[in-house]
Chain A
Amino acid sequence: MVDEKLPPSKEPAERPPDQTTPGNAATRFGLEDHEATQQDARVNTLRQAEERRGSMVPPDKRAMSMKMSQARLHTINDPNRTGTHSAEATTPPAKPAVNISSRSSLVRGVAPDLPPKPQRPSDSEADLESSDVDRPSAKRKSEKALADVSTSSSEESEKRVPPAAASAPPPAQAEPQWKSIDFAASEAEPIAPPAPRPEDVPLPPPMMSSLPTDGSPDDVQSINSKLTNTDITFHPSKVFASKATNTSGMLYSDEENEPEEEEFPKLPDQFSASDLDTLFLLACREVKKAGAIALAENKKNQEYTTKKHTNDIVTPTDNIVEESFIKAISSRYPNHQFIAEERISKSETGMVTLTDDPTWIIDPIDGTMNFVHHFPYYCISVAYLVNQETQFGIIYNPPMKNMYTAQLGKGAQMNGEMIRTTGQTNLSAAMVLQEYSSGSNEARNQVATENSQRLVKKTHAMRSIGSSAMCLAMVASGVADAFYNFGLHVWDMAAGALIVTEAGGVVMDPAGEELDIMSRRCLAASTDYLALELGNCLQQNYPSPRDDEPRSVNPNEYGPAPETRDFTSQTDFPDSDTPETTDTEIGGEKSATPAN
């Protein structure tokens, strides 16, 4: 409680006098936000606030229209940028298609830098994509709010660069400035809508007549910018500087836009669950949305609760992502079943029951520890099973913007490109992934340590990244050769197991038998031979209870009682929020390049 009070008293003292008003607003907003992340009830409040914010988007566009009108008279940079956004938002569908094609060619051309202008069309694309969704208006508004958050974040990133580059202020001073900007930007949203309403009436005719003109200059500027970027490519001295101003926002926008075009065509309002191809596309779209939620939430400090022990943690985002995905699917298919990490965790028995019914197996955030530390290896894992056979699997890593997918019998892909395992057969030449301290179970930790000591001598290399689902995805895509783990759960491996096998790899029980997804044991490798060789080297551990057994089978699986830790009270995270944003935007775009 004391910690919560201290920040407000410090911030005013550090803030320059001319920022007093924004500071006060920021303080109020900051406190509200902090409280909202601490309790479930507050999370709901936060969600409602986001929905309210979403409902204000349409009036905001009118505000932008007015600003655009003013910009033509006064030629001011910031209003002009806003005006351009508005113009693009109202452009007819035909023009976005042209822009999409143009941007796709840019991305494929591997130009290191992209022009600022196309960022606006991507916003209109996000709006169009939202309109395709057949769901209550509240959800539509919520999605627009998320899109708005992304835009706002991108703009804030651009604003932050000049001060840092110009004066390189000490960290202590930089922090309050960033906070102030964040809060002021967010606070500004509710204020903007009411003002321009009366003035909208006389403006429509001039705006309509100006649209074609605006479209043409944008295209010309886009072409010029493309040429400029090409020119910059041949002058490496400018690459770094250009990236500082353009890279993060632009790459983020383009990466987000292209998959939508290729992977998410407009879906019919109603279709049968037996239409697996369409159901798969729906799932991919919902996973992408869930990823956007996780990414946005990761920019805030996260309190987490330990479910069973200090290393098995759940954040509010786990619950938000899980419930939003389940709601999206169950609203269309009320009879479908869900096996989801957080729901199972909260249930009385903790027992998983898998029937022949259509069933979704979901891990809303795999690698939660990475998530709360802003370590960029966390992901959303979703598998769909019918008659207990996996039909498709999806693993999405939002910071890297890598989406690994597989449909039964149709191979595996990463961001739309086919992936294959390495084909490695020799353990001594293999890179093997494993995890440490997967829980507070002493026997299992000891086994992990002993296996690590033995394997480091027999393998080419050992790596540890903190997410079982991501490890499976890496074996599938061929950047690692094998993975094993004891103590993981069915939701950690259901999607990844199919992706590995569809990529030509093998998934089995670590003792060499057929995989039993309820056993909490898993070994994956690029080939049969490598899997068996690795399995032969392992000291075995048999986690109890199995996922399909109740907790009462082994009350001693986890030692101490669950506890709640306020991760933010003793850690100074605000400064790391911004770099992490950059990391997620940059890393995602370029990590897709090798697949091309």
Chain B
Amino acid sequence: MSHNVDVEKCLEVASNLVSEAGRLIARNNEQRQDFVCKSNDIDLVTQTDKDVEQLLMDGIRRHFPEHKFIGEEESSGAEGVKKLTDEPTWIIDPVDGTMNFVHAFPHSCISVGLKVNKVTELGLVYNPILEQRFTARRGHGAFYNGRRIHVSGQKELGKALVTSEFGTTRDEAKMKVVHENFEKMAKKAHGLRVLGSAALNMSMVALGAADANYEFGIHAWDVCAGDLIVREAGGVVIDPAGGEFDIMSRRVLAAATPELAQEISKVLTQFNPLPRDD
């Protein structure tokens, strides 16, 4: 069954809610948050994280009662991650870069994506601390604070600024691969930056301030919005092994050009996070 959605209205509703949520985050950022651990990872959850997700979901339900949700906090509950269907589905990370938020490091953001018939129609990434707002609608381009943006066009790894992350799990096998890839990127790339938010890393690629971003161990809510924003800015998003991007695989490689993406793909040591998000 095909679903029809008024994407323009969805964007308007999401923008309003994200602004409201941003004000909440900015206020709480002034005070350090006590944090608790979950799932024995050093992934953090704060009251803000929960409050923001609830605010977003309640707001969207008021306008679109039949829509579905896949969110970071919801997915950490008893049910785990939900299956993605053809239903209009909002994929939300209420605070991406929670570690940064806890430390008041100014790179946390709200990430909101909307998929209809499994296709991403809408992406929104907002860093309330620095007032950076990235938006994209499928086929309509990518925007930064209302202005059209485009990737850098870089094709050579040796001239590329690459962003990546250590990730939150401390699993030995994964950390070995992370370090191996960091070492290779440090030698081959022009520069390597670690800012602490997957969604903002991808947004920097869309903006042209970074040329590529790769990471293993992310989740669908970390990259759903960023994926569309990068592509609408003229960049590419693929699987780190060089194939087609699979949002549930927990792997991502975004780059300014296909040439750069393939070059990085050849350099990376691969890692397959388990379980998949689906």
Chain A residues packing against B (C-beta within 8 Å): 157, 160-161, 164-165, 168, 170-171, 174-175, 236-237, 239-241, 243-245, 247-248, 310-311, 369-370, 373-376, 400, 422, 431, 436-437, 445, 448-449, 452-453, 456-457, 460-466, 474, 478-481, 565, 567, 570-573, 575-576, 578-580, 582-583, 586-587, 589-591, 593-594
Q: Which residues of B contact A369 (CB under 8 A)?
A: 161, 190-191
Q: Does B42 contact A (CB under 8 A)?
A: yes
C-alpha gap A239/B126 in the complex (Å): 13
The answer to whether residues A374 and B183 also contact, given A244-B145, A456-B166, A463-B105 and a CB cut-off of 8 A, is no
Q: Which residues of B contact A457 (CB under 8 A)?
A: 170, 175
Closest A-chain residue to B141, C-beta based? A168
Q: Does B204 contact A (CB under 8 A)?
A: yes
Q: Does B266 contact A (CB under 8 A)?
A: no
Q: When the two chains form their complex, are residues A571 and B152 in contact, meaning their CB atoms are under 8 A apart?
A: yes
Among the interface residues B15, B19, B145, which one has the most CB atoms of the partner chain A within 10 A?
A: B145
Q: When the two chains form their complex, are residues A373 and B144 in contact, meaning their CB atoms are under 8 A apart?
A: no
Lowest 6 CB-CB distances: which A-B pairs, in order?
A244-B146, A576-B208, A572-B153, A590-B131, A575-B150, A236-B16
Q: Which residues of B contact A157 (CB under 8 A)?
A: 147
Taking A463-B105, A573-B208, A575-B153 as known contacts, 6 extra A-B pairs with beta carbons closer than 8 A to each other, sorted by chain A number, are A171-B148, A373-B211, A572-B152, A573-B153, A586-B132, A594-B30
Distance in Å: Cβ of A594 to nearest Cβ of chain B: 6
Q: When the two chains form their complex, are residues B152 and A449 in contact, meaning their CB atoms are under 8 A apart?
A: no
The answer to whether residues A171 and B161 also contact, given A375-B209, A479-B103 and a CB cut-off of 8 A, is no
Q: Which residues of A contact B277 (CB under 8 A)?
A: none
| Total A-B residue contacts, Cβ distance less than 8 Å | 207
The answer to whether residues A437 and B187 also contact, given A236-B20, A465-B195 and a CB cut-off of 8 A, is yes
Q: When the two chains form their complex, are residues A590 and B12 in contact, meaning their CB atoms are under 8 A apart?
A: no
Q: When the two chains form their complex, are residues A436 and B182 in contact, meaning their CB atoms are under 8 A apart?
A: yes
Q: Mark B103-127, 1 if CB is under 8 A from A, else 0.
A: 1111000000000000000000000
Q: When the two chains form their complex, are residues A579 and B147 in contact, meaning their CB atoms are under 8 A apart?
A: yes
| Residue among A170, A466, A579 making CB contact with B144, cutoff 8 Å | A579
Q: Which residues of A contact B17 (CB under 8 A)?
A: 236
Distance in Å: Cβ of A16 to nearest Cβ of chain B: 19
Q: When the two chains form their complex, are residues A236 and B208 in contact, meaning their CB atoms are under 8 A apart?
A: no
Q: When the two chains form their complex, are residues B159 and A567 in contact, meaning their CB atoms are under 8 A apart?
A: yes
Q: When the two chains form their complex, are residues B208 and A247 in contact, meaning their CB atoms are under 8 A apart?
A: no
Closest B-chain residue to A242, C-beta based? B146
Q: When the two chains form their complex, are residues B209 and A311 in contact, meaning their CB atoms are under 8 A apart?
A: no
Distance in Å: Cβ of B67 to nearest Cβ of chain A: 19
Q: When the two chains form their complex, are residues B193 and A465 in contact, meaning their CB atoms are under 8 A apart?
A: yes
Q: Does B74 contact A (CB under 8 A)?
A: no
Q: When the two chains form their complex, are residues B209 and A376 in contact, meaning their CB atoms are under 8 A apart?
A: yes
12 contacts between A and B (CB under 8 A): A164-B148, A237-B15, A239-B19, A369-B190, A373-B209, A437-B189, A449-B179, A462-B194, A464-B194, A576-B209, A579-B208, A591-B106
Q: Which residues of B contact A244 (CB under 8 A)?
A: 145-147
Q: Does B99 contact A (CB under 8 A)?
A: yes
Q: When the two chains form their complex, are residues A461 and B209 in contact, meaning their CB atoms are under 8 A apart?
A: no
Q: Which residues of B contact A463 (CB under 8 A)?
A: 105, 194-196
Q: When the two chains form their complex, are residues A479 and B150 in contact, meaning their CB atoms are under 8 A apart?
A: no
Q: Does B7 contact A (CB under 8 A)?
A: no
Q: Which residues of B contact A422 (CB under 8 A)?
A: 103
Closest B-chain residue to A246, C-beta based? B146
Q: Which residues of B contact A578 (CB under 8 A)?
A: 147-149
Distance in Å: Cβ of A232 to nearest Cβ of chain B: 11
Closest A-chain residue to B152, C-beta based? A576
Q: Mark B25-40, 1 if CB is under 8 A from A, else 0.
A: 0100110000000000
Q: When the two chains form their complex, are residues A436 and B192 in contact, meaning their CB atoms are under 8 A apart?
A: yes
The answer to whether residues A165 and B208 also contact, given A236-B15, A461-B99, A480-B103 and a CB cut-off of 8 A, is no
Distance in Å: Cβ of B81 to nearest Cβ of chain A: 24
C-alpha gap A579/B207 in the complex (Å): 7
Q: When the two chains form their complex, are residues B145 and A247 in contact, meaning their CB atoms are under 8 A apart?
A: yes
Q: When the two chains form their complex, are residues A466 and B186 in contact, meaning their CB atoms are under 8 A apart?
A: no
Q: When the two chains form their complex, are residues B191 and A437 in contact, meaning their CB atoms are under 8 A apart?
A: yes
Q: When the two chains form their complex, are residues B208 and A400 in contact, meaning their CB atoms are under 8 A apart?
A: no
C-alpha gap A311/B161 in the complex (Å): 11
Q: Which residues of A contact B219 (CB under 8 A)?
A: none
C-alpha gap A568/B20 in the complex (Å): 41
| Residue among A310, A460, A575 making CB contact with B99, cutoff 8 Å | A460
Q: When the two chains form their complex, are residues A452 and B179 in contact, meaning their CB atoms are under 8 A apart?
A: yes
Q: Which residues of B contact A587 (CB under 8 A)?
A: 130-132
Q: Which residues of A contact B150 (CB under 8 A)?
A: 171, 174-175, 575-576, 579
Q: Which residues of B contact A436 (CB under 8 A)?
A: 182, 185-186, 191-192
Q: Which residues of A contact B92 (CB under 8 A)?
A: none
The answer to whether residues A236 and B186 also contact, given A375-B193, A375-B209, A576-B152 and a CB cut-off of 8 A, is no
Q: When the two chains form their complex, are residues A591 and B129 in contact, meaning their CB atoms are under 8 A apart?
A: yes
C-alpha gap A305/B222 in the complex (Å): 37
Q: Which residues of B contact A449 (CB under 8 A)?
A: 179, 182-183, 186
| Residue among B155, B192, B211 making CB contact with A437, cutoff 8 Å | B192
Q: Which residues of B contact A474 (CB under 8 A)?
A: 105
Question: B168-214: which have CB < 8 Å to A?
Answer: 170, 175, 179, 182-183, 185-187, 189-196, 204, 207-211
Distance in Å: Cβ of B11 to nearest Cβ of chain A: 9
Q: Does B276 contact A (CB under 8 A)?
A: no
Q: Which residues of B contact A575 (CB under 8 A)?
A: 149-151, 153, 208
Q: Which residues of A contact B29 (CB under 8 A)?
A: 594
Q: Does B154 contact A (CB under 8 A)?
A: yes
Q: When the two chains form their complex, are residues A589 and B147 in contact, meaning their CB atoms are under 8 A apart?
A: no
Q: Does B234 contact A (CB under 8 A)?
A: yes
| Residue among B105, B146, B153, B194 making CB contact with A243, cutoff 8 Å | B146
Q: When the two chains form their complex, are residues A165 and B146 in contact, meaning their CB atoms are under 8 A apart?
A: yes
Q: When the two chains form their complex, are residues A310 and B207 in contact, meaning their CB atoms are under 8 A apart?
A: no
Distance in Å: Cβ of A14 to nearest Cβ of chain B: 16
Among the interface residues A461, A480, A570, A586, which one has the most CB atoms of the partner chain B within 10 A?
A: A461
The answer to whether residues A580 and B209 also contact, given A247-B145, A590-B129 and a CB cut-off of 8 A, is yes
Q: Which residues of B contact A165 (CB under 8 A)?
A: 146
Distance in Å: Cβ of A529 to nearest Cβ of chain B: 18
Q: Does B140 contact A (CB under 8 A)?
A: yes
C-alpha gap A445/B152 in the complex (Å): 27
Q: Does B133 contact A (CB under 8 A)?
A: yes
| Residue among B16, B103, B183 making CB contact with A461, cutoff 8 Å | B103
Q: When the two chains form their complex, are residues B159 and A160 in contact, meaning their CB atoms are under 8 A apart?
A: no
C-alpha gap A432/B170 in the complex (Å): 17
| Residue among B105, B129, B158, B195 making CB contact with A310, cutoff 8 Å | B158
The answer to whether residues A478 and B104 also contact, given A168-B140, A171-B150, A240-B133 and a CB cut-off of 8 A, is yes
C-alpha gap A479/B105 in the complex (Å): 5
Distance in Å: Cβ of A415 to nearest Cβ of chain B: 14
The answer to whether residues A164 and B207 also contact, given A431-B103, A445-B186, A464-B192 and a CB cut-off of 8 A, is no
Q: Does B156 contact A (CB under 8 A)?
A: yes
C-alpha gap A354/B149 in the complex (Å): 46
